[in-house]
Amino acid sequence: MKKSKHNKWADHYTLKAKKEHFLARSVYKLKEIQQKYKVIKKRDRVLDLGCSPGSWLLYAADLTGKKGEVVGVDLKPLSNEVSMKLPSNARMYVGDVLSISDDLSELIGGNYNVVISDMAPATTGNKTVDAARSFELCKTALVIAQDLLKPGGAFVCKIFQGEDFKNFLDLVKTGFNKQKTFKPESSRKSSKEMYIIGFGKR
């Protein structure tokens, strides 16, 4: 079967990710955000919400270096490939961000420099439903960020654009000194996903 131009383009990023030993094309999205905004610095403490299969976790741990720390949470465990090469400054917990138990909350701790969320709901194909579920995840990620970030900290959050997109941007505006929206080159053009970045937690 002949491949469409779009598929060829998609394959490019998937192959590039495999070549560099990252499982998901997702890692390029964080790389683009990092190149442009330098959100994660050496020695930072980073919380990665929706971290599985784990490419952001590995990349963030690389950026923070051994004196930094990255903690991930996801409904699903990391892929075997990521688990096998998880560095000592990164760890993850299986859990639901929408209902974090007291025990998990204690393990996650606080005092973070950066909270990143690449969480996505299981998609239904109905853009309105998917965007509403994404909005719920984003609102929860924002509450967690406001709770666990140090003043001045940064927040990166993926949202599926829908009718609540502007509402979410306004919520981020109230908690952070500056905010940007960013659509990575590596994100499929047909995807409704967008990243919102908040700088300088108040």
Ligand X SMILES: C[S@@+](CC[C@H](N)C(=O)[O-])C[C@H]1O[C@@H](n2cnc3c(N)ncnc32)[C@H](O)[C@@H]1O
Q: Which residues bind ligand X (CB under 6 A)?
A: 24, 26-27, 50-56, 73-76, 96-98, 118-121, 137
Q: Which is nearer to ligand X, 31 or 45 (CB)?
A: 31
- Pair 37, 198: CB distance under 8 Å: no
Residue number closest to ligand X, CB atom: 50
- Pair 13, 28: CB distance under 8 Å: yes
Sheet with 149-160: strands ordered across: 90-94, 69-74, 45-49, 112-117, 149-160, 193-201, 176-182
**Amino acid letter at 145?**
A
The Cα 152–Cα 176 span in angstroms is 8
Could you tell me the smallest distance in angstroms from the CB atom of residue 33 to ligand X?
12
Catalytic member of 38, 158, 180, 201: 158
The Cα 137–Cα 173 span in angstroms is 17
Q: Which is nearer to ligand X, 41 or 139 (CB)?
A: 139
Count how many Cα atoms sit within 13 Å of the Cα of residue 176 in the half-sphere of its side chain. Answer: 27
Q: Is 180 assigned a catalytic role?
A: no
Q: Which of 99, 96, 144 is nearest to 122 (CA)?
A: 96
Q: Give residue 74's Cα distance to chain centre.
A: 11
Could you tell me the smallest distance in angstroms from the CB atom of residue 171 to ligand X?
18
Could you tell me the smallest distance in angstroms from the CB atom of residue 8 to ligand X?
22
Could you tell me the smallest distance in angstroms from the CB atom of residue 50 to ligand X?
3
Q: Which is nearer to ligand X, 28 or 165 (CB)?
A: 28
Q: Which is nearer to ligand X, 76 or 178 (CB)?
A: 76
Could you tell me the smallest distance in angstroms from the CB atom of residue 193 to ligand X?
9
Q: Which is nearer to ligand X, 60 or 172 (CB)?
A: 60
- Residue 141: C-alpha distances to residues 70, 111, 191, 196, 199 (Å): 16, 15, 21, 12, 15
Q: Which residues are catalytic?
A: 158
